Structures are given as C-alpha cells and as structure tokens.
Amino acid sequence: MSEDILYKKDQHSLHAGDYRYAIVAARFNAFIVDRLLEGAVNALKDAGAGDAQITVARVPGAFEIPLTCLKFAESGRVDAVIALGCVIRGDTPHFDYVCTESARGISTVALQYKLPVIYGILTTDDIRQAEARAGITASANKGADAANAAMEMLALYAGLREMS
Ligand code: INI
C-alpha cells in the first residue's frame, strides 16, 4: 500500500474538486451556528467550490440534523454532508439526549450510505466555549474545520478507489 496516497492530502492542499456538498445547519443557537456556517462555506470556496456545489439546509435544532443528512445522502445528489449545530449544556438532561442522538444519527447515516457525514456540532459547557470555537472570540472556526474534514475525506476515499 502506498502511504503517499494516504498522507499527501493534508490541510494545506485541500481542494473542493467537483464534489457536491450539503451543509445541514441548526437554527438553535443561531448566533453561533451562523458563524460555523460562514466558516464552512468560506473554507469550501477558498478550496475552489462554486455556489452550485454547495447546498445549505436549515433545521430547527441539532436533533433534526441526522434525518436531514439522511435525506441528502439517499438523494444521491451530494458527495459529502456537513452537519453544523451548537448544543450548550444547561441544567437539564436534554443536553445529553440531543448530543447523543445527533452524534449517533450522523454516524449511522455515514456508515449506511458510505458518505462522509461530518460532525460539526459544538457541544459545550457554556456560551464562552461556543464563541471561542465559532471564531467569535478566538480564531478557530469549527465550521471551517468540518468543511476541511469533508474535503480531506473525499480526497482520501478517491485515493483508496484508485488503489482498488
Ligand atoms: N437544539 C440545539 O441545536 N442546541 C441546543 O442547545 C438545544 N437545547 O439546548 O435544547 C436544542 N434543542 C432543540 C432540539 O434540537 C430540537 O430541535 C427540538 O427538541 C425539537 O425536536
């Protein structure tokens, strides 16, 4: 096996290619998720994606993300799905349910449809942590990271197909 194929696509050589990307973004905590969305779209465009390659769907909250990812996956019209949301811990167990079910659902869709379905949902203890990860009070933007992960995985799988 050539390690070259597995390692050459680092974060500095990401290309959107001619792949089609769906972004599923929650409206809950929109002040955070909008920044993640902006980061993801900018990362895809910086890597050469055109508007026609990017479809954005908004959903009420993180709990609604998995089924929407599944709808995109089963449509056969996208090559990768990027899930964006923000769940901030409160005083109720709701936090755990929403986090657990969104993570489980997203990984189920990825495995069922053999597609990169990228988990870009922030799960934080408080608003300050969320702001830092959304590029508001720090430079990191987990939406951009999620888009980069989608492109990296598509490149990796293309390399694996070439090997087979
Ligand atoms: N949805 C989120 O995306 N983030 C949250 O922090 C959140 N909290 O805290 O409740 C949240 N709840 C809504 C949930 O995702 C569903 O939209 C709702 O339960 C309707 O199914």
pLDDT of 6? 57
H-helix or E-strand spanning residue 154 = helix 142-163
Output the pTM of the full model.
0.93
Residue 85 Cβ contacting ligand 1 at under 6 Å? yes
Span from the CA of 162 to the centroid of ligand 1 (angstroms): 41
Q: Is 12 a residue of the active site?
A: no
The count of residues in the chain is 164
What's the pLDDT tens digit per position in 11-61?
457 999 999 999 999 999 999 999 999 999 999 999 999 999 999 999 999
Give residue 85 CA to ligand 1 midpoint distance, Å. Answer: 9
| Cα–Cα distance for residue pair 30/131, rounded to 1 Å | 12
Task: Name residue 87's beta-bridge partners.
Answer: 123
Q: Which residues contact 52 (CB under 8 A, 6 or more apart)?
A: none
The domain segmentation of the chain, as residue ranges, is 18-163
Name the active-site residue from 8, 15, 27, 94.
94
Fold of 18-163: Rossmann fold (3.40.50)
What are the φ and ψ backbone dihedral angles of 144, each rounded to 5 degrees? -65, -40
Count other C-beta atoms under 10 Å from residue 69's C-beta: 29
pLDDT of residue 2: 52
